[in-house]
Each structure stands twice: as C-alpha cells, then as structure tokens.
C-alpha cells in the first residue's frame, strides 16, 4: 500500500476495491509473462478481482497500464528544472536534467527494464506513448521557452522538446540492447553525439 493510499482521509461513499498502482502492477506482471497482446482486459480485471467495467474507471485504456504514475515523474522533472542555476547553459541544463530524470534507485532496475521493453517494443504501446511524450516535451519546451524568453509554443522551444525526447528515446533503445550500460550515461552520450553533428 502506498503512502497516497494509506494516508487518504475517509470520504463518504464506498471504499475503492483496488488502486491504479495495484492494477498497473498486476497488468504489468501479466504483460511481461504473456505479452501485451495476449492479455485481455478481462484477464486483468479477473486477476485484480474486479469487474471489467470497473477497470475502465481506473484506466481509460489498457494501453495506459504500463506507464503507471508517469505524472509524478513529470512533476519531478519540472521541479528539478526550476532549480537549475541560470548560469548553466541551456544545452547542459537539458542534458543533465534528462539524464538524471532517468536515474532510478537500484532496486527495481529489472522491472523498469521490462516495462520499457514493453513500451518500446510493442507496436500498440509505442503508438500510444505519443500521448505521454507530448506532456514530457511540454515540460522541456516550457523550460526552454523561459530560458530563451520565447513562448513555449513557438518553433524553437517546441523543436528543443522534440530533440530532447528524440535523444532520450534513442538512448533508451540502445539501453535495451546493451545490458551493461547505464541509461543516464547513454542519454548523456546521446546529447554529446548530437552536438557533434551540429558542430561539424
């Protein structure tokens, strides 16, 4: 049980039978075991002991399960960027932030790897991820916009968001192939390799 669950006050009405976190965990287990396409929503609902209809009150779609609480990570990235010293060049601020954003405590490396394997290799999930990526890019674009004193929805900040995401994603793919490499370091390398191209 998470802190969010245990510390919630007692509102009126029936207590929920499960939680997003629990469903996400159960779903992820099934997906890893049998493959995303081989698991139906009914399977997940049954495994969680809830009705199929109820599942869709916790998650808008089966595709959203593997992401878990991505919003929380996003808030983390956002608040980290807020604290970056104004003296740090934009490029380095982004490079470091994106890199650190993908450093996870050592305990759940295996699970995170399997989650990313699902998200980056299953076509349905790859497609669905665009929605999450949009929010991610927006955080970067906002920051870049502030730094460059331009609206976040203008060409340069938007492009920077796209580029940072692109670097992050390709580093993730590389990370899945190279068992031994650290993800933050791969992302850092990605930023540097990208710069080389622009400098050449």
Partner DNA sequence: ATAATAGTGGCACTCGGTGCCGAATGGAAG
Partner DNA sequence: CTTCCATTCGGCACCGAGTGCCACTATTAT
Residues 9-28 touching DNA, rule: CB under 7 A, are 10-18
Long-range contacts of 60-64 (CB under 8 A, 24+ apart): 61/128, 62/27, 63/124, 63/125, 63/128, 64/128
Contact partners, residue 15, CB within 8 Å, separation at least 6:
none
Interface residue with a second copy among 47, 111, 169, 176 (CB under 8 A) is 169
Task: Pick one of a second copy, DNA, none as the site partner of residue 182 (Cβ within 5 to 8 A by kind).
Answer: none
Copy the structure tokens of residue 119: 């998200």
Q: Which is nearer to a second copy, 28 or 140 (CB)?
A: 140
Number of shown-chain residues binding DNA (CB under 7 A): 26
Which listed residue (34, 52, 103, 154) binds DNA by CB under 7 A? 52
Interface map 55-84 toward DNA (x if CB under 7 A): -xxx-xxxx---------------------
Q: Considering the complex, what minimum distance in angstroms separates the CB of residue 131 from a second copy?
A: 7
Residue pointed to by tokens 């390398």:
189
Is residue 42 a contact residue for DNA (CB under 7 A)? yes
User: 51 contacts which partner out of DNA, a second copy, none, CB within 5 to 8 A by kind?
Assistant: DNA
53 counts as binding DNA under rule CB under 7 A: yes
Residue 123 binding result from a second copy, DNA, none, given CB thresholds of 5 to 8 Å by partner type: a second copy
Q: Which of 54, 68, 80, 166 binds a second copy (CB under 8 A)?
A: 166
Task: Map the chain to HEC letters.
Answer: CCHHHHCCCCCCCCCCCCCHHHHHHHHHHHHHHHCHHHCCHHHHHHHHCCCHHHHHHHCCCHHHHHHCCHHHHHHHHHHHHHCCCCCCCHHHHHHHHHHHHCCCCHHHHHHHHHHHHHHHHCHHHHHHHHHHHHHHHHHHHHHHHHHHCCCCCCHHHHHHHHHHHHHHHHHHHHHHHCCCCCHHHHHHHHHHHHHHHHHC
Residues 49-88 that bind a second copy (CB under 8 A): none
Interface contacts to a second copy, rule CB under 8 A: 89-91, 123, 126-131, 144, 154-156, 158-163, 165-167, 169-171, 173-174, 186, 189-190, 193-200
Interface contacts to DNA, rule CB under 7 A: 10-18, 39-42, 49-54, 56-58, 60-63
């Amino acid at each position: 049980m998470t802190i969010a669950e245990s510390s919630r006050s007692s509102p009126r009405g029936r207590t929920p039978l499960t939680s997003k976190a629990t469903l996400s965990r159960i779903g992820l287990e099934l997906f890893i075991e049998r493959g995303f396409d081989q698991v139906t929503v009914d399977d997940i609902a049954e495994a969680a002991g809830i009705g199929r209809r109820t599942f869709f009150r916790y998650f808008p779609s089966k595709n959203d399960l593997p992401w878990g609480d991505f919003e929380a990570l996003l808030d983390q990235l956002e608040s980290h960027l807020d604290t970056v010293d104004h003296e740090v060049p934009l490029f380095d601020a982004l490079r470091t932030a994106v890199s650190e954003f993908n450093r996870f405590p050592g305990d759940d490396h295996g699970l995170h790897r399997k989650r990313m394997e699902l998200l980056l290799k299953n076509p349905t999930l790859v497609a669905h991820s665009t929605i999450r990526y949009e929010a991610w890019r927006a955080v970067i674009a906002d920051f870049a916009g502030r730094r460059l004193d331009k609206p976040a929805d203008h060409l340069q900040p938007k492009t920077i968001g796209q580029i940072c995401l692109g670097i992050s994603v390709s580093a993730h793919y590389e990370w899945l192939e190279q068992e031994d490499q650290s993800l933050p370091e791969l992302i850092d390398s990605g930023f540097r390799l990208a710069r080389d191209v622009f400098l050449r």
